Amino acid sequence: MNLCEGLLPVRYRDSWEQPAPMTPGQVYAITIELFPIGNLFLCRHRLRLDISSSNFPHFDANPNSCEPEGSMAHPRVAENQVFVDRDRPSHIVLPVIP
């Protein structure tokens, strides 16, 4: 059961008004806001984080080409990496709500 989900086309990571493509091999800090969609998180529940280039058909397909929205003329395969080393520590911030 999904409790939260979030979506960020990373070309909009710095600005929704000025999209910018990513450079292959470069590491970027990305913040994804999560929105509750389910029940409360209870004691003994577990967390799972899924990173994906697409969630079609729930959201529009992502061609990973920085083409205009809705265009699929030049789709590309994306390779996602989440770093967890000392120099690039990924993390999840979970608020505690009484």
pTM over 0.85: no
- As a dihedral over the C-alpha atoms of residue 4, residue 45, residue 92, residue 1, rounded to 10 degrees, the angle is -20
How high is the pLDDT of residue 39? 62
How high is the pLDDT of residue 86? 92
How high is the pLDDT of residue 52? 79
Structural domain including 38 reads 1-98
Q: What six digits make up the tokens of 64?
A: 């990973």
Q: Which residues of the chain have pLDDT under 50?
A: none
Domain count, the chain: 1
